[in-house]
Structure 1
Amino acid sequence: MKKIVEVLPDKAALIERSRDVVLTKIQEAIQRSGRCTLALAGGGTPKPLYEALASQNLPWDKLHIFWGDERYVPADHPDSNQAMARQAWLDHVDIPATNIHPIPTDGESPEADASKHDTQLGEFFGVAADEFPQFDLILLGIGDDAHTASLFPHTQALQVCDRRITLGNKEGQPRITFTVPLINQAHCVMFLVAGAGKQPALAQIFAAEADPLTYPARFIQPQGELWWLLDQQAGQAVKG
């Protein structure tokens, strides 16, 4: 694993740098395999990144968009990660509808939709049921509790190693999420983190020793590149 940690002066610089890295990774992926598979993060931090990407001239037919996790709400719900990305980015560019692969949230149950999306991923990537496909780029954030995607501290989802998709749970609310081994299969994983409120979590994530069941982002150790892009406030936790 190649690990890159960069602390940027402010949120604007963080977004500018993340845009440049994402554009580079898209180009590298298309050169490597003729397409780029990109999994998006939810939350407020990446939204301006998506808005910045909306103004780029990209080969949209070669870009395939997925999500690392999703709240179990309708696709047009204000809390939907899919809805945020569509409003900020995807609705403004000529990406084919068939190149957008949202996590289903309209089936019989969260369990059924998680299983459905697991199957969808296998079919798209052409891998067997027990194999983990390799995303070109997975974008992630962290919560104040050091969770990432919908992998929350001391939840069952952290220990799921035989599926690509599983159920996360936050305060009784179901989420559908990538599993740790699926994330770790990626060519590149990039964390975007902003704000002083993330310092305590980052201190534990970057500590020499800490329990990953308590600080789940520690589980993310991809076989490819691991990028941490932090603004100055968040980055105070990892300096030195």
Structure 2
Amino acid sequence: MKPEMLADAGAVAREALAMILDSASRALAREGRFRLVLAGGSTPERTYCLLTETVSDWTGWEFFLGDERCLPADHPGRNSTMLRHVLFRHIPVEDARIHRIPAEQGAEAGALAYEQAIRGRLPFDLVLLGLGEDGHTASLFPGHEHPQERLVVPVHDAPKPPPDRISLNYHTLCAAREVLFLVSGAGKHDALARWQRGEDIPAARIHGREQTRVLADEAAVHG
């Protein structure tokens, strides 16, 4: 894996925006709809802000989440809360095309419910992912293995709070046409270096069927 190095987190966000728009254009022309999996984190958040200022026609866009924390539905620590504030309240997309993970039900019940919600909507067109300092992505952590038959998995004993989460499984993410990793900050340098050395971190297990890109800023590349 060789990351594409950009100057800073803002540049990563702008290049991510360009890829989202390109992927959307192709998917909409091909099938009349665009299924996008969203990630949490500050760099994706920058991208979503840019997206609201760029796209004027949201016809055919459909949104999913890569993972969620098992917290109350309106908790500020949830990805869905961030997405509501920076993206969904600013765009004219009906709620039926925003597929939130019902993590407030708990890891087991929420994972089963989300699996049913997405089963008929696979594969995704584009998946956005981040990279944790330990090499995790979505809520797929080092040392955690999950049943292959599950599209969505409950996660327990996460090494960072909260301990219970829900995540799309590896093969669900890998079935997507395209995967885009957004990596910024010196804190991600070690994980990115391990990935480049070929170590078996969770992020290294995920790749799109047609394209996988890793956008990283200078701080993440050089430390």
TM-score by length of 1: 0.87
Give runs of ≥4 in structure 1 deviating > 3 Å: none
> Deviation per CA, 1:124-156, whole angstroms, max 9, x where unpaired?
x2xxxxxxx210000000110000000001013
Matches within 5 A, 1:14-25: 14-25=12-23
SS in 2 for 1:148: coil
Q: Which residue of 2 aligns with 1:97?
A: 95
Q: Which stretches in structure 1 are left out of the alignment for 5+ residues? A: 126-132
* Structure 2 counterpart SS, 1:17: helix
1:116 correspondence with 2:105: no
1:232 matches 2:222: no
- RMSD of aligned C-alpha atoms? 1.6
Report how far residue 113 of structure 1 moved.
Answer: 1.3
Residue 177 of structure 1 is aligned with which of 152, 167, 184?
167
Report the number of matched residues: 220
Q: Secondary structure at the match of 2:193?
A: helix
SS at match of 1:55: helix
Aligned equivalent of 1:162: 149
2:53 match: secondary structure = coil
Structure 1: how far apart are the matches of 2:208 and 2:11?
25
Residues 148 and 39 from structure 1, CA distance in 2 versus in 1: closer, same or farther, beyond 3 angstroms?
Answer: same
Cα distance in 1, alignment partners of residues 166 and 184 from structure 2:
24
CA contact (8 A) 1:188 1:225 kept: yes
Deviations 1:54-98 (A, max 9, x none): 112343231000000000112211111011011011111111111
Match of 2:205 in 1: 219
Code of the residue aligned with 2:24 in structure 1: it is I
Amino acid at match of 1:167: P
Contact residue 61 and residue 96 of structure 1 kept, 8 A: no
Identity of aligned residues (%): 35
| Letter paired with 2:181 | F
Look up the match of 1:137.
126
8 Å contact kept, 1:61–1:99: no
Q: Is the 8 Å Cα contact of residues 65 and 99 (structure 1) preserved in structure 2?
A: yes
Indicate yes or no: 2:151 matched with 1:153. no
Deviation of the 1:4 alpha carbon:
7.2
For 1:4 and 1:180, locate their aligned partners in 2 and report how far apart those are by CA, in whole Å.
21
| TM-score, normalised relative to structure 2 | 0.93
Deviation larger for 164-173 or 67-76: 164-173
State whether structure 2 residue 180 is matched by structure 1 residue 190. yes
Q: CA–CA distance in 2 between the matches of 1:29 and 1:15?
A: 21
8 Å CA contact retained: 2:12, 2:43: no
1:27 counterpart residue number: 25
Is the contact made by 2:2 and 2:196 (CA closer than 8 Å) also made in structure 1? Answer: no
| Alpha-carbon distance in 2 for matches of 1:224, 1:75 | 35
